[in-house]
Structure 1
């Protein structure tokens, strides 16, 4: 009888150990989507614009170019214990965007973060549309679109953004139309400006390599 009890206890213990392996392993991955906070080079904190796959089958993302330099390691703000989960692999200083390549074994890509869901990529929004963003610092904010005030590759809006929100996805409904790059004057008072996503995608496709043929999750 005692031997049977001992065997039963051993069996239950072993099963509990096996069941614990699944969740623990799954937990060792960062959940990332447009609006997630990321760390570049172990210092600069920015926001991921979007994540998806390119024509080469790579898991890639986009953020503001001024957040770092090619070769820099990428980490997740809310899962920094995971260490390096990707690298910046490309940058366009003029359009102020960068391309990130992620380790599929360390990242779970999603299309919704906070109050922003991305189901597709579109053309720039125009006045008097209201767009929204999800950012690392100020979260979900919305504002009216002023339009392309200075150059055709940027759109100005009245969304509240501050440092750390760089790279935030700008959406009209669930369509990604741009990214946050800067604000003018005073944070959350002066207008926000950012590069139009269709311009970014066209430039990535023209250069080829990581990010070309990008499709959001």
Structure 2
């Protein structure tokens, strides 16, 4: 009798184990917008500036050019299980931006991430405008605009940024006016330096191809 019970228990345990075995649930798509953290080429941690569609209807985004090179895969820092969600397709060393083409089956685009909402693209901020950014490393920070360096098409602000915030959207209200590219001196002490978004858009349109005719979500 004891042997029969032991065999019966073993059979029940095996059946329970089999019931619990099945294919792993597929990871959902990555939710991405201006301010989302991205991983470029499996290594570089950066921030997405904006996401939307170009004139051909492709789902595209922008980040800082120094984050990687064309051809590199893009994954979401908050949903790596989604796998590769896009690839960097082009970059500008002069203006330090890069264009990303996303797989629409892998991405849910949004216009709000954290404390930043993007409803449109506008002219550069000027002193004493207050601008804000949403970044992978330091989240939502704001600061005064020191000025637009017309000769370089860049703007200095007093927002806190560190490594990983590269590419962060710079907004005045809900208008995208620039991207974070660097800081001067010491992180979160020295001024932030970023490229004006109107210059980036003009360059993308002049080049043509992926990204031309871009409009944010």
Q: Using the alignment, how far apart are the partners of 2:122 and 2:149 within structure 1? A: 19
Does the alignment pair 1:78 with 2:67?
A: no
Tell me the secondary structure at the aligned position of residue 79 of structure 2: helix
Does the alignment pair 1:96 with 2:112?
A: no
Q: 1:150 to 1:216 in 2, by over 3 A?
A: closer
Does the alignment pair 1:158 with 2:152?
A: no
The residue that corresponds to 2:8 in the other structure is none
Tell me the secondary structure at the aligned position of residue 148 of structure 1: strand
Task: State the Cα distance separating 1:83 from its structure 2 match.
Answer: 1.5
Task: State the Cα distance separating 1:148 from its structure 2 match.
Answer: 2.2
Verify the 8 A CA contact 2:126 2:145 in the aligned structure 1: yes
Q: Alpha-carbon deviations, 1:69-124, whole Å to 9, x = none? A: 00000000011112211000010001000000000000000000001000000000
Q: Alpha-carbon deviations, 1:118-159, whole Å to 9, x = none? A: 000000000000000000000000000011247341000000
Task: State the Cα distance separating 1:212 from its structure 2 match.
Answer: 0.2
- Where has structure 1 moved over 2 Å in runs of 4 or more? 148-152
Tell me the secondary structure at the aligned position of residue 35 of structure 1: coil
Structure 2, unmatched stretches of 5+, are 1-24
Q: Using the alignment, how far apart are the partners of 1:59 and 1:103 within structure 2? A: 7
How many residues align? The count is 193
Does the alignment pair 1:45 with 2:56?
A: no
Q: Using the alignment, how far apart are the partners of 1:31 and 1:148 within structure 2? A: 32
User: Please, what is the CA RMSD of the aligned residues?
Assistant: 1.1
TM-score, normalised relative to structure 1: 0.87
- Which has a greater percent of helix? 1
Mean Cα deviation higher: 108-117 or 148-157: 148-157
The residue that corresponds to 1:198 in the other structure is 198
Q: Using the alignment, how far apart are the partners of 2:151 and 2:67 within structure 1? A: 22
Structure 1, unmatched stretches of 5+, are 1-23
Question: Where do residues 140-151 of structure 1 align in structure 2 (5 Å cutoff)?
Answer: 140-149=140-149, 151=151
TM-score, normalised relative to structure 2: 0.87
Task: State the Cα distance separating 1:53 from its structure 2 match.
Answer: 0.2
Verify the 8 A CA contact 2:125 2:148 in the aligned structure 1: no
Tell me the secondary structure at the aligned position of residue 66 of structure 1: helix
The residue that corresponds to 1:118 in the other structure is 118
Q: Using the alignment, how far apart are the partners of 2:181 and 2:45 within structure 1? A: 13
Q: Using the alignment, how far apart are the partners of 2:194 and 2:81 within structure 1? A: 31
